[in-house]
Amino acid sequence: MKKHTLEISGIRKSFSDKILLSDIYLKVETGEIIGLFGLNGSGKSTLLKIIYGIVGASDKSIFINGISFNNSAILLTEISYLHQNQIIPNHFSVLKAIKLSIAKQKVDIFCQDDLLKPFLNQKIRDLSFGELRYLQVKMILFNKSKFVFLDEPFSGLSPKMTNVVLDLIKENSKEKGIIITDHNYENVMKISTHLIFLKDGKLHEINKIAELEEKGYLTSSAIF
């Protein structure tokens, strides 16, 4: 299977003269799951939104397989982004949302899911937060983009849904490059092939969990 590579460099972002991101460089290949950590307010979500193109930034360079995709609408077909916010119209039924979001040939297999079957005919507005999050995560992973950004995918999920999502992420990483950030660091570490930490506007590679304590992300009691 052909490998695909996403490279991002030079990202800078400031708010009210405070530097949030500085000279960011990030590379992800299909087959990789990158766990992105950082304290609240460090800029994790902002970084993903900048790469995706819904937040502006200076000096941003984005390449996929060596081809520049700066300011290209085509980028939206190459990258999928799971927002923290609800983006599906509330008046849609779950089944309608599925049919409009994924390829026709995948609809049947998508719906053969015991966790989804009970609410396929419900309106989006009637779902619990966890049910909606599960639906969103699964739809993102089932589309044809080469790269996926997951921002808090485990938020509100039941333990059973969490286990299914972990399996879905691992399975889809065989043909996608995935970046995931979530406050549930244990789940992120279970499936990540690489770990990075965002601090003081820069990305730092993490090789072991103890480094998260050293950087102030975890207490020593959380490690053992």
> What pLDDT score was predicted for residue 222?
45
> What pLDDT score was predicted for residue 71?
67
Residue 187 has pLDDT above 70, yes or no: yes
Residue 159 belongs to what domain range?
Answer: 5-86+147-223
Q: What mean pLDDT comes out for the span 25-29?
A: 95
187/164 Cα distance (integer angstroms): 12
| Sheet (strand 61-64) strand order | 18-29, 5-15, 61-64, 67-68
Q: Is residue 128 part of a domain?
A: no
> What pLDDT score was predicted for residue 142?
93
Residue 116 has pLDDT above 80, yes or no: yes
Q: Is residue 9 part of a domain?
A: yes
Residue 213 has pLDDT above 80, yes or no: no
Q: Is residue 91 part of a domain?
A: no
Q: What mean pLDDT comes out for the span 150-171?
A: 95
| CATH code for position 174 | 3.40.50.300
> What pLDDT score was predicted for residue 211?
75
Q: Is residue 98 part of a domain?
A: no
Q: Is residue 132 part of a domain?
A: no
Q: Is residue 124 part of a domain?
A: no
Domain count, the chain: 1
Q: What mean pLDDT comes out for the span 120-126?
A: 95
pTM score of the predicted model: 0.91
Alpha-carbon torsion angle 84, 88, 94, 97, nearest 10: -120
Q: Which long-range contacts (CB under 8 A, 24 or more apart) does 186-195 make?
A: 187/154, 187/162, 188/35, 188/37, 189/35, 190/166, 191/33, 191/35, 191/166, 192/33, 192/34, 192/35, 193/31, 193/32, 193/33, 193/34, 194/32, 194/33, 194/34, 194/35, 195/34, 195/35, 195/37
Q: Is residue 100 part of a domain?
A: no
> What pLDDT score was predicted for residue 56?
84
Q: What mean pLDDT comes out for the span 6-30?
A: 90
Name the residue with higher pLDDT: 34 or 23.
34
Q: Is residue 12 part of a domain?
A: yes
Distance of CA 165 to the CA centre of its chain: 12
Residue 202 has pLDDT above 70, yes or no: yes
> What pLDDT score was predicted for residue 109?
93
